[in-house]
Amino acid sequence: MRGRYIEAIGPGDEVVLEDGITRVDATGKWILPGLIDAHARIQRWMLPRYLAAGVTAVRGLHGKQDSILALAEQANLNAFPSPQLFVAGAMIDGVPPTRTDATGVRDDTAGRHAVDQRSLAGVDQIMTYTRITPSILGAIVDEARSFNLPVAAQLGLTDALTAARQGVRSIEQLSGVAEAASGNASGLYAAHRQGYWQGWTAAEQSWVRLRPLALKDVAERLAATGVVLVPMLATHDAYSRLDDPTVVESAGSLSTPDSIRARWDPAALTTAAGWSLDFFRTARLARESQNRFLRDFAAAGGIIAAGSNAGEDFFAAGDGLHTEIELLAAAGLSPSEATVAATGNGARLVGADSIGTLAPGKVANLVILARDPLSDIRNTRSVERIILRGTIMPTDSIRASW
């Protein structure tokens, strides 16, 4: 490495080393590119937790716009140790917006104006949410294209194939897939109009009724569009098992502050969403259909990026990305494919060709592991130190700063 960049890679007897160079002994270790979390709601306290877990870049898809843009500017100027942040500011939703800090738009013109405002503010991408109709989504994508801003979409009133054909860069949380594969999605759209949790619940339960051939067809057609899927399997998995106390007890127990974990209330969410034991049973059955869909998508050449949903209740910064990587492998991706979902594919998603892989000229973001992740994907957690933009950082020293 020289400064922030990788200068050469190769066997020791083939790389010329200058006198006085600093050597890092990684004998018997494994080296990966810095990990990339493709879906998070970034908060300041999360940043050192990410670094300790080997995450050197994060895609933030929602937040209070002024504060998240200010945080990203400071982080990316190295005001403090932080992953590189790629942020969308406040999400764009329909009316009324699902979240109070989102921007609600009533029509195509308002959607375009929301994109214009974000472009002027300096966002890296646009995020749309579940109440956005196909017409408004098309207008948002068209306007964003004029500013070279990619659009991430969590869908509700638009199916995944329509969104992909309109040109969204990514589809989050497998949203819109059930609607595309159902044959008649009118009932699902009606549920989405009732509210966020009604729509999410109806879509999740519908997976068990979807025909495998219909899902395979949607997977292949989506892959052909080039859209990136950020499936967020950890979200589907956690919500399907929220009736199990150990889910919350184990989530981020070593990396999430007690003050944050104290606000995690599975009983309150279960009540708000109207979930029953029947829902949890059905949602757990749906997981296999979701996994099969991802296998079909990957087999068709589809691009998958790993996103943890950190910053939302029950999902930990850093540790949560390792959980997502493990669930991608459990779904049928090879350890190598699951790792690429959290490195190269994440870089491709944010449009940053200087990160995500190890090659001369790339930014020197590296993770040094104690154990081989290709023999056991859980070994991505064995982070001993990271190299962040050329600076060596042992994980013990990062944790000591919490």
Set out the domains of the chain in order of their start, with CATH numbers: 33-87+154-358 (3.20.20)
Distance, CA of 343 to CA of 1 (rounded, Å): 19
Element (DSSP H or E) covering residue 40:
strand 35-40
Question: What is the SS3 assignment for 64?
Answer: coil
Secondary structure (H, E, C), 76-103: HCCCCCCCEEEECCCCEECCCCCCCCCE
Pairing mode of beta strands 35-40, 55-60: parallel
Evaluate whether 313 touches 265 at the Cβ level (below 8 Å).
yes
What's this model's pTM, rounded to 2 decimal places? 0.96
CA–CA distance, 29 with 111 (Å, rounded to integer): 49
pLDDT along the chain (402 residues), means of 10: 91 79 88 98 96 98 94 95 97 96 98 99 98 99 99 99 99 99 97 98 98 99 99 98 85 80 93 97 98 99 98 95 98 98 98 97 98 98 97 93 83
Residue 32: φ, ψ to 5°: -120, 160
Q: In angstroms, rounded to a whole number, what is the distance separating the alpha carbons of residues 87 and 64?
A: 11
Closest to 196 in 3D by CA, of 97, 339, 108, 102:
97
Residue 3, exposed/middle/buried by CB under 10 A (0-12, 13-18, 19+)?
exposed
Among 85, 159, 173, which Cα is nearest to 123's?
85
- Residue 25 has a pLDDT of 85
Mean pLDDT over each residue of the chain, to the nearest integer? 96
Residues 256 and 264 sit within 8 Å (Cβ to Cβ) = no
The answer to whether 256 and 316 have CB atoms below 8 angstroms apart is yes
| Distance (Å, whole) CA 324 – CA 319 | 9
How many angstroms separate the CA atoms of 109 and 296, rounded?
Answer: 37
- 70: tokens are 């200010």
User: Residue 215 is encoded by which pair of tokens?
Assistant: 């899902």
Would you state the structure tokens that stand for residue 192, as one six-digit string?
């989405």
Mark out the alpha helices in 195-276 (DSSP H runs).
196-206, 212-225, 233-240, 245-250, 258-261, 266-273
Tokens of residue 300, six digits = 């068709």
Tokens read off for 247: 């889910």
Return the closest-CA partner of residue 69 out of 83, 55, 88, 51: 88
Residues recorded for the chain? 402
